[in-house]
Amino acid sequence: MNMLITEVEIKSVFIGERLRAVDPDYVALLAASIEENGLRQPIEVRKSDDGGYLLISGGHRLEAVRSLGETKIPAIIVEASELEAQLREIDENLFRRDLSALDRATFLARRKEVYQELHPETRAGGDRRSKQMRKVEHQATDDDDQMDKVDHLIPSFSDVTADRLGLSRRTIDRAIVLHKAILPDVREKIASTWLADSGAQLDMLAKQMPENQRRIADLIVEQGIRATVADIMRQLEEKPPAPKPGKMEVFLGLWRKCSARERRGIAELVSQNFPEVCFRTSWDFADDEQQAAFINIIAPKLPGFRAGDAA
């Protein structure tokens, strides 16, 4: 992919339809920084058929420089197809730290669509017949067997994206499922609300029926409601509010969020305060091997212990 860095006329750059709308507040913040420190990263464009340029990435930078009254902006001119340009735009946004959970899901879902258009061999049910279909047709050949071997060498969208973006396959797959489960008009409506930033509440929204998704979105946008999706559903269904969680539920909720190291610290603290309870419970739930390990730890500390007495 060839690239050339130059200055282009701002009026010659066509923004087009973007996956992420330009945020005026961020444009103003960026403009102040550019005015003081200059533009550190050029925008990316590709040439259009009418002699102008199509924006690939840098919509906020473009608008910030425009707002400062400048007529030209540094740009990297990229030779890329429309799909390759979309992939570059998507990837630049996915590398940003300020993406909401909803935006990230949208970009990952669109990246999968573009990637599979560029690499149709990675699309399930694409040009290759499945092994099961070959069996049905009774036409398995040496060429088919060779194709099966090659198929395993073709990287999937999830593998390539996980490697490029440093995300786990599970995170990528969950985000795409989330994007598909929430209605397009609902995604658009809640994009600038607090709900877009909450992965857990988006998961709950995705589980709701389509009509309820719209009702929840309307309440959040029109009435400014800030509550869990479950609480909003109770309100819509005129059910009493859920009882407040007890101390044990709160503790277990925190426990699930703790790392292995933090859980070990909690266990050690509890053992110091309730050693007898902890030992009895541990012994009752231990298997034979674990009980033998307990004996080997405790036996040397007992009066009259002799080497060889432990299990």
Give the domain-ending residue among 210, 236, 262. 236
pLDDT in tens, 252-290: 888 988 998 999 999 999 999 998 999 889 889 988 888
Query: Residue 47 is part of a domain; what is its CATH number?
Result: 3.90.1530.10
Please give the pLDDT value at position 150.
39
Distances in whole angstroms, Cα of residue 167 to Cα of each of 92, 99, 261:
15, 14, 23
Task: Compute the average pLDDT of residues 226-236.
Answer: 91
Q: For 38-92, give the DSSP string.
A: ---S-EEEEE-TTSSEEEEE-HHHHHHHHHTT-SEEEEEEE---HHHHHHHHHHH
Same domain, yes or no: 184 and 129: yes
pLDDT above 90 as % of the chain: 41
Task: Answer yes or no: do 141 and 258 share one domain.
Answer: no
Per-residue pLDDT reduced to its tens digit, 16-41: 877 777 888 889 999 999 999 999 99
Task: Answer for the pair 81, 46: CB distance below 8 angstroms, yes or no.
Answer: no
Question: Do residues 221 and 197 make contact, with C-beta atoms less than 8 angstroms apart?
Answer: no
Which two tokens mark 143? 């060429």
Backbone angles phi, psi at 209, to 5 degrees: -65, 155
Question: Would you state the pLDDT for residue 151?
Answer: 43
CB neighbours of 30 closer than 8 A, spacing ≥ 6? 60, 61, 64
The answer to which of 2-11, 64-73, 127-136, 197-206 has the lowest mean pLDDT is 127-136
Report if residue 90 sits inside a domain.
no
Same domain, 265 and 224: no
pLDDT at 310: 52
Give the residue, 165 or 292, on which the prediction is more confident.
Answer: 292
pLDDT at residue 253, as a whole number: 87
Mean pLDDT confidence for 147-155:
46
Mark whether 230 and 110 lie in a shared domain.
Answer: yes
In a domain, 231, yes or no: yes
Q: Report whether 15 contacts 27 (CB < 8 A).
A: no
Side chain identity at 94, as an amino acid letter? L
With respect to residue 96, please indicate whether it lies within any of the assigned structural domains.
no
Contact call for residues 286 and 294 (beta carbons, < 8 A)? yes
The predicted-structure confidence for 188-210, as pLDDT tens digits, reads as follows 999 989 999 999 999 999 999 99
Residue 42 structure tokens = 């050029």
- Within its chain, how far is the Cα of 148 from the centroid? 31
Average the pLDDT over 110-121 and give the result: 88
- Whether 232 contacts 216, CB under 8 Å: yes
User: 47: which strand partners?
Assistant: 53
CA distance linking residue 156 with residue 173, whole number of Å: 12
Domain assignment of residue 288, yes or no: yes
Predicted confidence (pLDDT) at residue 296 exceeds the cutoff of 90: no
143 and 118 belong to one structural domain = yes
Domain count of the fold of the chain: 3
Range(s) of the domain holding residue 254: 249-301
The contacts of residue 214 (CB under 8 Å, 6+ apart) are 183, 185, 186
Query: Is there a domain that residue 294 lies in?
Result: yes
Choose the final residue of a domain: 236, 263, 285: 236
pTM here? 0.59
Structural domain ending residue among the three candidates 190, 214, 236:
236
Q: For residues 176 and 65, give the distance between their C-alpha atoms in angstroms, rounded to a whole number.
A: 34
| Crossing angle for the helix pair 275-285 and 288-298, to the nearest 10 degrees | 140
Predicted pLDDT at 140: 39
Can you tell me whether residue 129 is helix, strand or coil?
Answer: coil
